[in-house]
Structure 1
């Protein structure tokens, strides 16, 4: 999906957006000559709010502008605009990862002149990523991924409501999907009459949109089809449109949006509770499927989020299993042979005789780790390149999770801050990878290409298995990466030597097995990851 079209100055407006107000077009400067308009991302017709990406000429950074278009001579329109601006200014003190920070609020006579055709401007930090409209344009989102996205947004709503704030996220073009897979309110500025209940209904509408590709509230953009209604004007449940949607998620969306009847959900705290129960139920379901597969088991539907591809038929699985056992036997024989050679060398008269060196980083996922209780040998230098140089600091660190939202994205920078005492950690999982999903990791981006020879990883517990992958971009799919090495990560510092130096700007530490923690849960903590190029 190419979302870059809508981020280019002068590109066609997304979703058929019109530059209402006559002179709103890329290149125009607003806000007393400070902000130059770059590209339009939507219109909230209910408030005449035009959503733009712009360039701050003073601080030389991109910002998100919510332009309130109207006639300054219209007293009622000016009053409503002032109400929106007051709410946005009050929310400037609110900080949460799910809401773009408000940087400034401009009003008539204070940054806006009566000749600009504007009643006010809300300036917020720019949110990198893609449009929510683009996300659902091709097909709905997998149910569990949709639940995670809404769960993060619901946490922001719950925190805001505890502080007496209305966020105003009941329009899909105000939301964007960050590179970490989280939904974020990118264009703040609630409607003048918006209530706490409107925020809650918006969460249900966003869930409905992710599951079906349809918008279930009034005033949505023309680019998104409206949700269908059944007899009596009742909302058609998402499960009736997409059979793969779980019953619980389908009911949650409808009960949150609709006002009448018993059993309605009216608070974000209630939504978080239901989403937590759905996540646990999904986890148990996936485990039961993994354990109870039958000989005639059918491939799962494309809506499944815990796998990256459909399971193969059992005959093929048995063939692969036999091949894997054969490889394992060969590896065991090789280890026994090595142990025999080592024992013989201990009794040889030649003092220079030694056993073969062992690299703690196996060159592929099929290699066998040292036997239990064995001591890891120091990793030899790469086969090519003649040693390693000083560690190179990455330009950026992001959570890598091709399936959707990542684990603790706000802590990703801790893995490359030079302090082994600060950690990035995964979420706690009740089931080990790959039962719940194939893995999770960190992608490290470098300003210039490096010739990678070694990776050093500091962790606080043994039991983690990782692969070192290279990619052409930080957003590459798992099937677009190249495996460079695989290894077990022990307690303390582990060194992973590549069999041959690899060129690239993007490298991924991909976790395929988590460390065991208390109470039968699994989690991995990485204190510091260092990248050493070939000397």
Structure 2
């Protein structure tokens, strides 16, 4: 219920409220006696901001209060509070369904007295619904619903940033879930030093929270577990914690939160592009699955965060896409049938000229009275027998990578055992700059060529040398590149490269039978220079 005290505000929070903000408790009146506190819904400790539901005694309506608690005699605390109030006042001119409208801003001497233990108050319209923290307390949200919820919030951020406004939604208790299933910034009041980048990182953190139930930014509520980190200090991808999370959403969350690297996502518009693609794929999948479902059969859904299709043109595009998919399926089935007919009922006679297979003659001197053969072109650099790496691991600077348990399949000498990437709905580098296999050698080797056995046409790779297993992508060096064609591809290095660590880095994925993009490696051989 909206009127109950949030379970995350424990005894420690209550003690802090009394120590810094006087007796903030249900029933107390603030703001020149106008607002009566009803229930607390969180504390943003970074700014000593206490989030309350209150009753406006003049207009007889519920409102959301962000109470800035502090000592008026502390000049630094007063300065930070003034900055937050100024930003909140600017936001009062901003209107969007994803942000609660700011109704009033009270400061010391203007609605707030020094004896209240408050430095200011931001008054906003009350948002009906439930707490975001309560939503993820039981279990993570389904990926499709999580994408929809963040999509609506990202639209608000994008609109605000176009107007030069920072929203300050980088704390989960400031957000609420409306009855319609949309996330909304219910307690406006950005931190004094918050930036546009902080809003974008918050979108990634909210997505991470919905998918995993963990918060990936500093300053979260004590009741929410912090996101785990890799040994290199990166946030563990959601897919590693919840295997059912699609690779696109997992990568989007990590790339939005992380600051470093060339593959980071730094704008809300970039987030929206990925979420729009995920949403369209979900709609297409649901439409296909709906075909043949008995009328009146329910899937048990109680509520949904699915947005209605925005316009007729989008509906037509979706219908056209499904039609193309059905036609393509029929064509493939017909082609397969014809191939079977040709296989079992074809002419037994030879279909082409007879080939005369003979052993390759050995090299010998020219016969008498015959001219010598012309000189051949310069020979390619000679390579030796393959050298086997000591180990192989998935190289993904942003996390644990794709199918790490199968990385050894790429160097076991058996093309029948493969390592493959996750299935992506968007081609690299839309979601991430790439992924690859790192081969580690006990002693430095000097390579001249890399041979890749794989049935993954269209895959483009770079051979990169690295100084260590944990090297960042920017610190590796490209020593060769090529595109996989046929079942065996040899990539000559630009010049012999020496080192202990080499990466087969995939920059473009192959097709996955019309169901996204995927690449696989059957066997990778490393051939040294002679």
TM-score (norm 1): 0.55
Distance 1:180 1:425 in 2: 22
Q: Mark the CA change 1:287 to 1:32 in structure 2 (over 3 Å): closer, same or farther.
A: closer
The number of residue pairs the alignment matches comes to 311
C-alpha contact (below 8 Å) 1:180/1:405 kept by paired residues: no
When Rg is computed on C-alpha atoms for both structures, the one with the higher figure is 2
Query: RMSD across aligned C-alpha pairs, in angstroms?
Result: 2.8
- SS of the equivalent of 1:277 reads helix
Q: What 5-or-longer segments of structure 1 have no aligned partner?
A: 294-305, 310-399, 410-423, 436-535
Cα offset for 1:284? Answer: 4.2
C-alpha displacement of 1:252: 0.2
Please give the alpha-carbon distance, in whole angstroms, between the structure 2 residues aligned to 1:222 and 1:201. 20
Residue equivalent to 1:148: 148
Cα shift readout 1:304-341 (whole Å, capped 9, x = no counterpart): xx9835xxxxxxxxxxxxxxxxxxxxxxxxxxxxxxxx
Is 1:308 equivalent to 2:295 in the alignment?
A: no
Question: What corresponds to 1:238 in structure 2?
Answer: 238
Question: Which residue is equivalent to 2:308?
Answer: 407
Counterpart Cα distance in 1 of 2:129 and 2:314: 23
The Cα of 1:97 is off from its aligned counterpart by: 0.3
Q: 1:239 to 1:107 in 2, by over 3 A?
A: same
Partner of residue 3, structure 2: 7
Shift of 1:30: 0.4
- After TM superposition, the score normalised by the length of structure 2 is 0.55
Q: In structure 2, which of residues 10, 14, 19 is the aligned counterpart of residue 16 of structure 1? A: 10
The answer on whether the counterparts of 2:98 and 2:185 sit within 8 Å (CA) in structure 1 is: yes
Q: 1:67 deviation in Å?
A: 0.1
What is the match of residue 63 of structure 1?
Answer: 63
CA distance in 1, matches of 2:105, 2:309: 31
Instruction: Tell me how far 1:15 sits from its aligned partner.
Output: 4.2
Q: 1:111 to 1:171 in 2, by over 3 A?
A: same
Aligned to 2:197: 197
Does residue 54 of structure 1 match 2:50?
A: no
Provide the rounded CA distance (Å) in 1 between the counterparts of 2:79 and 2:150: 33
Q: Which residue of 2 aligns with 1:382?
A: none
Measure how far apart 1:14 and its partner are: 3.6
1:419 — aligned with what? none
1:223, CA displacement in angstroms? 1.2
How many Å separate the matches in 2 of 1:290 and 1:96?
33
Residue 335 of structure 1: aligned partner: none
Q: Are 1:33 and 2:33 an aligned pair?
A: yes
3-state SS, counterpart of residue 231 of structure 1: coil
Note the 1:454-469 alignment, pairs <5 A: none
Equivalent residue number for residue 449 of structure 1? none
Q: Within 2, Cα distance between the matches of 1:242 and 1:426?
A: 35
1:378-433: CA deviations, max 9, x gaps?
xxxxxxxxxxxxxxxxxxxxxx9722245389xxxxxxxxxxxxxx999848668x
- Structure 2 distance, partners of 1:408, 1:40, is 37
1:176 matched residue in structure 2: 176
The whole-number CA distance in structure 2 between the counterparts of 1:15 and 1:174 is: 13
Residues in 1 aligned to 2:29 and 2:120: alpha-carbon distance in whole angstroms: 14
User: What pairs with 1:281-296 in structure 2 (closer than 5 Å)?
Assistant: 281-286=281-286
- How big is each residue's C-alpha offset from its partner over 1:121-146, in whole Å with a ceiling of 9 and x where there is no partner? 00000000000001111011110110
